[in-house]
Amino acid sequence: MSPEDITRRLEIDALYADYAHCLDNDELGAWPEFFTEDCAYRITSAENFEAGLPLGIVYATSKAMLVDRVMALRKANIYEPQRYRHLIGALKIGAAEDGVVPVVANLIVVRTMQDGEMMLFAAGRSVDRLVRQGEGWKFAKKDIVLDSRQIDTLLSIPL
Protein backbone atom coordinates (compact mmCIF):
# COMPACT_ATOMS: atom_id res chain seq x y z
CA MET A 1 0.00 0.00 0.00
CA SER A 2 1.49 3.32 -1.05
CA PRO A 3 1.66 6.32 1.31
CA GLU A 4 -1.01 7.93 -0.87
CA ASP A 5 -3.29 4.90 -0.48
CA ILE A 6 -2.79 4.91 3.28
CA THR A 7 -3.58 8.59 3.61
CA ARG A 8 -6.60 8.33 1.34
CA ARG A 9 -8.01 5.45 3.34
CA LEU A 10 -7.58 7.23 6.67
CA GLU A 11 -8.96 10.50 5.34
CA ILE A 12 -12.06 8.74 4.03
CA ASP A 13 -12.47 6.91 7.32
CA ALA A 14 -12.34 10.29 9.10
CA LEU A 15 -14.87 11.76 6.65
CA TYR A 16 -17.45 9.11 7.55
CA ALA A 17 -16.83 9.73 11.24
CA ASP A 18 -17.39 13.45 10.78
CA TYR A 19 -20.52 12.75 8.75
CA ALA A 20 -21.95 10.52 11.50
CA HIS A 21 -21.30 13.09 14.21
CA CYS A 22 -22.76 15.90 12.11
CA LEU A 23 -26.07 14.03 11.85
CA ASP A 24 -26.08 12.65 15.39
CA ASN A 25 -25.35 16.09 16.83
CA ASP A 26 -28.28 17.41 14.80
CA GLU A 27 -26.00 19.91 13.08
CA LEU A 28 -28.06 19.81 9.93
CA GLY A 29 -26.86 23.20 8.75
CA ALA A 30 -23.42 21.70 8.21
CA TRP A 31 -24.71 18.56 6.51
CA PRO A 32 -24.88 19.90 2.91
CA GLU A 33 -21.21 20.90 3.21
CA PHE A 34 -20.29 17.23 2.90
CA PHE A 35 -21.51 17.27 -0.71
CA THR A 36 -20.40 18.73 -4.04
CA GLU A 37 -22.48 21.47 -5.66
CA ASP A 38 -23.94 19.09 -8.25
CA CYS A 39 -24.21 16.06 -5.96
CA ALA A 40 -26.81 13.33 -6.23
CA TYR A 41 -28.29 12.27 -2.89
CA ARG A 42 -30.92 9.62 -2.44
CA ILE A 43 -32.53 7.44 0.20
CA THR A 44 -34.01 4.37 -1.40
CA SER A 45 -34.93 0.77 -0.64
CA ALA A 46 -32.73 -2.19 -1.47
CA GLU A 47 -35.44 -3.49 -3.78
CA ASN A 48 -35.65 -0.28 -5.78
CA PHE A 49 -31.87 0.03 -5.87
CA GLU A 50 -31.38 -3.49 -7.14
CA ALA A 51 -34.13 -3.05 -9.72
CA GLY A 52 -32.31 0.05 -10.99
CA LEU A 53 -35.24 2.33 -10.26
CA PRO A 54 -33.95 5.88 -10.22
CA LEU A 55 -36.23 7.54 -7.69
CA GLY A 56 -36.08 7.25 -3.93
CA ILE A 57 -37.95 8.37 -0.87
CA VAL A 58 -35.59 11.28 -0.69
CA TYR A 59 -34.02 12.57 -3.86
CA ALA A 60 -31.80 15.56 -4.49
CA THR A 61 -29.64 16.49 -7.46
CA SER A 62 -27.72 19.41 -6.01
CA LYS A 63 -26.31 20.74 -2.80
CA ALA A 64 -28.83 23.61 -3.04
CA MET A 65 -31.64 21.05 -2.79
CA LEU A 66 -30.05 19.63 0.35
CA VAL A 67 -29.92 23.12 1.85
CA ASP A 68 -33.60 23.60 1.01
CA ARG A 69 -34.40 20.29 2.59
CA VAL A 70 -32.68 21.22 5.83
CA MET A 71 -34.61 24.48 5.97
CA ALA A 72 -37.89 22.66 5.39
CA LEU A 73 -37.03 20.19 8.14
CA ARG A 74 -36.21 22.99 10.53
CA LYS A 75 -39.55 24.65 9.88
CA ALA A 76 -41.55 21.43 10.09
CA ASN A 77 -40.04 20.07 13.27
CA ILE A 78 -40.52 22.52 16.07
CA TYR A 79 -39.28 20.04 18.59
CA GLU A 80 -37.61 16.71 18.00
CA PRO A 81 -37.05 14.91 21.22
CA GLN A 82 -35.59 11.72 19.77
CA ARG A 83 -31.88 11.17 19.24
CA TYR A 84 -30.12 9.18 16.55
CA ARG A 85 -26.85 7.31 16.72
CA HIS A 86 -25.06 6.16 13.57
CA LEU A 87 -22.71 3.25 13.36
CA ILE A 88 -20.95 3.17 10.00
CA GLY A 89 -18.59 0.33 9.26
CA ALA A 90 -17.17 -2.05 6.69
CA LEU A 91 -15.84 0.73 4.47
CA LYS A 92 -15.06 -0.84 1.13
CA ILE A 93 -12.93 1.72 -0.68
CA GLY A 94 -12.41 1.11 -4.38
CA ALA A 95 -9.77 2.30 -6.81
CA ALA A 96 -10.02 5.90 -7.97
CA GLU A 97 -11.16 6.39 -11.53
CA ASP A 98 -10.90 9.86 -13.07
CA GLY A 99 -10.55 11.22 -9.55
CA VAL A 100 -13.72 9.53 -8.29
CA VAL A 101 -13.41 7.03 -5.44
CA PRO A 102 -16.25 4.52 -5.01
CA VAL A 103 -17.04 3.60 -1.40
CA VAL A 104 -19.65 1.27 0.06
CA ALA A 105 -20.26 1.31 3.80
CA ASN A 106 -22.61 -0.53 6.13
CA LEU A 107 -24.91 1.54 8.27
CA ILE A 108 -27.03 1.01 11.35
CA VAL A 109 -28.92 3.81 13.07
CA VAL A 110 -30.32 3.49 16.59
CA ARG A 111 -33.06 5.87 17.70
CA THR A 112 -33.58 6.78 21.32
CA MET A 113 -36.99 8.18 22.18
CA GLN A 114 -37.69 10.76 24.84
CA ASP A 115 -38.74 8.08 27.31
CA GLY A 116 -35.39 6.36 26.87
CA GLU A 117 -36.56 3.52 24.69
CA MET A 118 -33.98 2.51 22.08
CA MET A 119 -34.84 0.94 18.75
CA LEU A 120 -33.20 -0.03 15.49
CA PHE A 121 -34.21 2.79 13.20
CA ALA A 122 -32.43 1.94 9.97
CA ALA A 123 -30.11 -0.70 8.55
CA GLY A 124 -28.54 -0.69 5.14
CA ARG A 125 -25.60 0.51 3.16
CA SER A 126 -24.33 3.75 1.73
CA VAL A 127 -23.22 3.48 -1.89
CA ASP A 128 -21.09 6.53 -2.50
CA ARG A 129 -18.78 8.30 -4.89
CA LEU A 130 -16.21 10.66 -3.42
CA VAL A 131 -14.14 13.38 -5.02
CA ARG A 132 -11.32 15.45 -3.61
CA GLN A 133 -12.05 19.15 -3.29
CA GLY A 134 -9.61 21.58 -1.77
CA GLU A 135 -8.60 20.36 1.66
CA GLY A 136 -10.84 17.32 1.83
CA TRP A 137 -13.29 14.88 0.32
CA LYS A 138 -16.88 15.50 -0.73
CA PHE A 139 -19.71 13.18 -1.66
CA ALA A 140 -20.47 13.56 -5.36
CA LYS A 141 -23.09 10.83 -5.00
CA LYS A 142 -24.63 9.11 -2.01
CA ASP A 143 -27.26 6.41 -2.27
CA ILE A 144 -28.54 5.35 1.13
CA VAL A 145 -29.92 1.88 0.37
CA LEU A 146 -32.14 0.66 3.18
CA ASP A 147 -32.73 -3.03 3.90
CA SER A 148 -36.10 -2.20 5.33
CA ARG A 149 -39.13 -1.21 3.34
CA GLN A 150 -40.72 0.54 6.32
CA ILE A 151 -39.48 3.85 5.17
CA ASP A 152 -42.32 6.20 5.93
CA THR A 153 -40.76 7.17 9.26
CA LEU A 154 -37.50 8.06 7.57
CA LEU A 155 -38.85 11.08 5.78
CA SER A 156 -37.97 13.46 8.53
CA ILE A 157 -34.19 13.24 8.80
CA PRO A 158 -31.17 12.83 6.52
CA LEU A 159 -29.13 9.65 6.78
30, amino acid identity? A
Closest CA to 20 of 66, 103, 101, 87: 87
Question: Dihedral (C-alpha) 148, 149, 154, 155: value to the nearest 10 degrees?
Answer: 160
Determine, following the binding rule CB under 8 A, whether residue 125 of this chain makes contact with a copy of itself: yes
Q: Which among 51-59, 67-75, 121-129, 135-143 is the span making contact with a copy of itself, rule CB under 8 A?
A: 121-129
Burial 76-111, CB ≥16 within 10 A → b, else e: eeeeeeeebebebeebebeeeeeeebebebebebeb
For a copy of itself, the closer CB: 60 or 127:
127
Which residue, 74 or 149, is less far from a copy of itself as judged by CB?
Answer: 149
Choose the stretch contacting a copy of itself; rule: CB under 8 A; options: 15-23, 30-38, 59-67, 129-137: 15-23
Q: Quick check: 24 binds a copy of itself (CB under 8 A)? A: yes
Span of 30-38, 52-60, 84-92, 129-137 interacting with a copy of itself by CB under 8 A:
84-92
The sign of the torsion formed by the CA atoms of 118, 32, 153, 80 equals: positive
Binding site for a copy of itself (CB under 8 A): 1, 6-7, 9-11, 14, 16-18, 20-21, 24, 46, 83, 85-93, 104, 106-108, 110, 112, 114-120, 122-125, 147-151
